[in-house]
Structure 1
Amino acid sequence: MPTVKFKNLYLLSQVEKRALHVPLRSQKLLIQGANGFGKSVIMKSLYETLGATPNKIDDRWKKANVSSCLEFEFAGAIWFSVKAHGVLSLFDDKGNRQFWGLRLVKDWGPKLAEFFGFKLEMVDKDGETLTPPPAYLFAPFYIDQDGSWDNTWVSFRQDFYLPESARTLADYHSGIRPDGYYAAKAELTKEKIVLSSLETAVDTLRQAMTQIEEIEGTTPIYDLQEFASECDDLVAESESLLVLQARHRRTISDLHEESHLVRAEVALLRNTLNEMRGEFDLASSLPHQVECPTCGYEYQNSLTERFALIEDEGVLSKALTEAKYKLGRLTEKELAERGKLDEISASLTRVQKILETEKQSLSLNDVLVATGKTEAAKLLRVSLNEKIVAAEGSRNKTELLRASMSKFTERTRTTEIMKFYRSRLSMYSQELDVHLDAPEKQSIVSINVARGSEGPRALLAYYYAFLYTKIKFTTSIRFPVVIDSPNQQGQDKVHLPQMLKFIFDHVPDDVQTIVATEDASGLKFEGVAIATYGEAKRQILRENEFDRVKNIFDPFFQKILAAE
């Protein structure tokens, strides 16, 4: 099975001039620290850097405008996911930008899903089929302190907005409805659209055939008044189209002018940013005391002034990203308007050709009409037969896809999965000193959680029972298990060590585990690395790491800002 392993996490705030490097190479890692010292910030940043939205983000953290970079190993290669300047980007180990996105659902999500082989397809409230946000991929692997210890499938509550998310997540990740089911479902959705189009074409052609057959063999009678009325209608349609054409041309002109202004703004911001970087490099190369060549007075080349340049660079970088995004949207709108204008032009051409034909003498039409009706009927019959055959083929394909979906949801398979899951849940509950009512009837979507300290332990039993079920019955990708603050609801001196020991002892062999807790002093776990972060309360980032971490980000920043 494909497996992801985290290597390093880098956090950078150019506003605060602070940064942090978190090594993650240990297979089992315990991050400890008192409340308010930032350990949860590290945990939330891991999957946030890959595009999942944490449940809660501190206001101070938002104001710090922190960029994050997650180095990870996947498919025998090293990759870097970077969240900076309002976009998410994936780089290879040579610094090449593989893909990027501003929007989780429209841009980043589908590209990341393809990269990791994530085939889940869902339907939104408007009936549109789409690839869900990245949080749906990471859901079984992240236990968040702001919700996951109270209920299941809420680790990224904001991202789980699609209908029946909890049921879909449980079915997909447990293997009850695996990749094959959703791949067939996606194909079925597309084929239904094709079939609907073919069936509509068949109905239309049959109606046309009926109308042809009803008048075939009769002598046409022409009404000059009707002829004049028809011409008047065509002239009116032509005038209406000309008005629409003029309106769309004005819109295109306005959009083109606005795009020109924004393009100039992008160029100005980019040049200003380059000049500012030059000033910073110059300031960095000069001594602390600089003598004025005119007056001879010595001026301080202070760190404060150089940091001000960096802060201005951050503001300009953000403005540049926003301007480029605005330019992209304007370009899209202009292309859409040009498409509408082309449609109107095509309609005008059609009307004008009809008018030219109508202006010909009736005698020519009289000569051709009888033969034309016969030929038209022949052509319609040929087209109708082709559409009927195509519709039948499409109908057979939809039935095969439905059968394929049914194969993945056979009762015997579902029963086997549920039996395994409930067996694990019962076993883990006993190990964690949890009493479950009727474990043989427990749902795979959620469990009935007891009140008090027993509740978090019951949820931990559920998460691990589900994790092992996923590993046994699916071949999908495995991510590191990230567990934030298991000490919930006042776990005592017996149960907290019991939970921590359970977490590290029962994690699957090839799955990396990262846990954050308040205090692990006095506890010994075999093969577990322990790290402590946070120099002061509500201050996880460090001044002395700023320059080193910024050097790591700089090549990524250059590629992000240089992209058109």
Structure 2
Amino acid sequence: MKSFFISEILLLSQKEKKAKKVLFDRRRTIILGKNNTGKSSLIKSIYWAFGAEPVLHPNFKEANVTVLLKFEVSGKKYEIFRDGKTYTLFDSENQNLIKTFNSVTRELAPYFSNVFNFKPLFQSRNNDFVIPPPSFLFLPFYIDQDNSWNKSWSSFNQLQYLKDPRPSLILYHSGTRPNEYYQTKKELEVFLRRIDELEKERKITNNILSQMQKDFAQVDFNIDINIFKNEVKELLVQCELLKKSEEKLKYTLRDLYSIKATIESQIEIVKLSLVESNSDLEFISKELSSYVDCPTCGAHYENSFAERFDIANDSERCKDLLIELLRDLKEVNDKIDKENSILLKTLEESKIIENILEQRKGELKFKDVIDNYGKNELRSVFSKRIDVLNKDLVENSIKKKELSDQLKGLEDKDRKKEIVEYYQLTLKKFLRYLDVHSIKEESYSSLTNIIENTETGSSRPRALIAYYFAFFYLMAKYSTTTFCPIVIDSPNQQDQDIEHIDKIMNFISDNQPENSQMILGVAELYNMEFNGKIIELNEKYSLLQKDEYDFVNLEMRPYFEKTWLKFM
């Protein structure tokens, strides 16, 4: 199992001229702050950097915060930089850019599946088998203050991306179904679909052959062209509608390409200005005298610090403008890609209709050929096709059997029994420690049972924290993916009395799994000695601070430039 540690996070709002930098302890960090001081926003920023989507505060969204997160996976150090919907991954050793991503599901998730060894294949709502986004990796490790104290496995938005994700995630993260299980299942699905297609084709071919033989035995084979005229007319109408849609899309694309050309021209102008500013600064810096002659016109100019500063300031403004223009260009390109995708689909649909029209004509010719060659030739053609289908079905069925046996071996009954028994014993012990006695053992006889439905009031949060920690221990022992930092936000829920608050805090402190990292968000310390680094937040309604803006902005500037100016 891989290990994952977070070392540092930087938050920057160029809009509000505020920032925040936090260093995390490798073992345990306490985020201490009263309500509305931003501790939850700080915690959620960790996941937001990876494209996971927790419930963010509207003020955080309004501030247009850019995040830089530094982390380590099994000794390999990385940095991820998120600016809007653009994600850039860096090698932390030398800040080399590894890759830029513009889509979480299509780009970031497949890449991180290798980094984190997170390779389940779950069925999406489109019935495709996909590697889920990073939120599905972090889900069992994050206990948020908004949803997790009432309902387990619910810390992020957009979990509806998959069909009924909870059971599948539990079986994966518990180690009941390892990574290899899903790869085998994907291969098996290919053969199942192929067998289904072959059987359908064989059935249709058999039916056609039987019906043809009956028809030939009774009457001559004649075609009524009027039957096809109505169908052809209907298809032509559909084709005309698609062509009108295609013309409308082309006009939209023409306007977008015009805007793109304008922005690209502006970028070139700013680039030239930036090059000239840098050249001027380099030239004037080489001169040691108080005055300097212009190399172009020979004019006499003062060579003061103020003059150099103005040129340097112009260079920085050019870079900022260039970044803004590149963002605008990306937005226009995204719109162009979207319209082109719609146009391509329209063209494909139009092509399908044209092919159907040709096929109708082709059927007439084919039937003429059938009439010429006779029923014996027809029987031979269909019989040969059935023989081929039978052979393909046998070969695919053999491979299906091999993969089915392999899949059963990966979901070993003895291993599953061992995992369930370990989970039950661990959860039972934790429930007793946290003074939860009303949950019957049959309520957690299965890994996928929902235990919170059996508890109400102040007992429910304690039952849930026992459940979460039982699962932490289960993942540490059996899971095949990466063990992520444990993040717990606001564990004092439902007005716990002093005795139970002490139990909860002592439980969290004493039962953190070995070799794991924990980030704990609390409103107060409750006289507990947590033996970890404390990050205290004091200012209400402002996680980001004005006095941190300049140095955080300076530290993050190379990441902006490498993300947006890499094509200069």
TM-score (norm 2): 0.79
Gaps (5+ residues) in structure 2? 285-298
Give CA-to-partner distance per residue, 1:125-166, whole Å, 9 cap, x none.
554444433222111111111122233222225535644333
Instruction: For residue 47 of structure 1, report the CA deviation from its aligned partner.
Output: 1.4
Q: Is the 8 A contact 1:12 1:66 kept in 2?
A: yes
Question: Is 2:69 aligned against 1:65?
Answer: no
Q: Is the 8 A contact 1:28 1:504 kept in 2?
A: no
| Seq. identity, % | 27
| Residues in 2 aligned to 1:284 and 1:150: alpha-carbon distance in whole angstroms | 61
Structure-1 residue corresponding to 2:4? 4
Gaps (5+ residues) in structure 1? 287-292
| Residues in 2 aligned to 1:482 and 1:507: alpha-carbon distance in whole angstroms | 11
For residues 261 and 115 of structure 1, do their structure 2 counterparts lie closer, same or farther at Cα, with a shift above 3 Å needed?
Answer: farther
Residue 194 of structure 1 aligns with an amino acid whose one-letter code is R
For residues 501 and 249 of structure 1, do their structure 2 counterparts lie closer, same or farther at Cα, with a shift above 3 Å needed?
Answer: closer
For residues 234 and 500 of structure 1, do their structure 2 counterparts lie closer, same or farther at Cα, with a shift above 3 Å needed?
Answer: closer
- Range that drifts further, 233-242 or 481-490: 233-242
Number of equivalences: 543
Question: Is 2:31 aligned against 1:24?
Answer: no
Instruction: For residue 552 of structure 1, report the CA deviation from its aligned partner.
Output: 3.9
Instruction: For residue 4 of structure 1, report the CA deviation from its aligned partner.
Output: 1.3
Question: Is 2:346 aligned against 1:337?
Answer: yes
- Range that drifts further, 402-411 or 268-277: 268-277
Instruction: For residue 326 of structure 1, report the CA deviation from its aligned partner.
Output: 0.6
Q: Which secondary structure state, in structure 2, belongs to the residue aligned with residue 10 of structure 1?
A: strand
Structure-2 residue corresponding to 1:267? 264
RMSD of equivalent CA atoms:
4.4
| Residues in 1 aligned to 2:480 and 2:115: alpha-carbon distance in whole angstroms | 15
Question: Is 2:518 aligned against 1:517?
Answer: no
- Range that drifts further, 107-116 or 417-426: 107-116
| Residues in 2 aligned to 1:377 and 1:559: alpha-carbon distance in whole angstroms | 68
Q: Is the 8 A contact 1:251 1:337 kept in 2?
A: no
Residue 68 of structure 2 aligns with an amino acid whose one-letter code is C
Instruction: For residue 14 of structure 1, report the CA deviation from its aligned partner.
Output: 0.9
| Residues in 1 aligned to 2:522 and 2:277: alpha-carbon distance in whole angstroms | 41
For residues 541 and 199 of structure 1, do their structure 2 counterparts lie closer, same or farther at Cα, with a shift above 3 Å needed?
Answer: same
Q: Map residues 54-133 of structure 1 onto 2, 5 A cutoff.
A: 54-55=54-55, 57-93=56-92, 94-102=95-103, 104-125=104-125, 127-133=127-133
Q: Map residues 379-418 of structure 1 onto 2, 5 A cutoff.
A: 379-409=381-411, 411-418=413-420
1:378 to 377, 380, 398: 380
Q: Is the 8 A contact 1:14 1:314 kept in 2?
A: no
For residues 269 and 168 of structure 1, do their structure 2 counterparts lie closer, same or farther at Cα, with a shift above 3 Å needed?
Answer: farther
Instruction: For residue 273 of structure 1, report the CA deviation from its aligned partner.
Output: 6.8
Q: Is the 8 A contact 2:153 2:166 kept in 1?
A: yes
Structure-2 residue corresponding to 1:446? 450
Q: Map residues 217-366 of structure 1 onto 2, 5 A cutoff.
A: 243=240, 247=244, 250-251=247-248, 253-254=250-251, 256-267=253-264, 270-271=267-268, 319-343=328-352, 346=355
Q: Which secondary structure state, in structure 1, belongs to the residue aligned with residue 31 of structure 2?
A: strand
| Residues in 2 aligned to 1:321 and 1:77: alpha-carbon distance in whole angstroms | 31
Structure-2 residue corresponding to 1:289? none
- Range that drifts further, 262-271 or 312-321: 312-321
Q: Is the 8 A contact 1:89 1:97 kept in 2?
A: yes
Give CA-to-partner distance per residue, 1:200-229, whole Å, 9 cap, x none.
2222332343356557899x9687xx5876
Instruction: For residue 239 of structure 1, report the CA deviation from its aligned partner.
Output: 6.3
Q: Is the 8 A contact 1:252 1:338 kept in 2?
A: no
For residues 24 and 265 of structure 1, do their structure 2 counterparts lie closer, same or farther at Cα, with a shift above 3 Å needed?
Answer: farther
For residues 384 and 252 of structure 1, do their structure 2 counterparts lie closer, same or farther at Cα, with a shift above 3 Å needed?
Answer: farther
Structure-1 residue corresponding to 2:492? 487
Structure-2 residue corresponding to 1:540? 543
Structure-1 residue corresponding to 2:139? 139
TM-score (norm 1): 0.80
Q: Is the 8 A contact 1:147 1:155 kept in 2?
A: yes
1:423 to 410, 422, 425: 425
Q: Which secondary structure state, in structure 2, belongs to the residue aligned with residue 541 of structure 1?
A: coil
| Residues in 2 aligned to 1:146 and 1:455: alpha-carbon distance in whole angstroms | 14
Give CA-to-partner distance per residue, 1:244-287, whole Å, 9 cap, x none.
7854763564355244224325425645775897899999999x
For residues 559 and 215 of structure 1, do their structure 2 counterparts lie closer, same or farther at Cα, with a shift above 3 Å needed?
Answer: farther
Give CA-to-partner distance per residue, 1:165-205, whole Å, 9 cap, x none.
33333232223344344334333333332222212222233
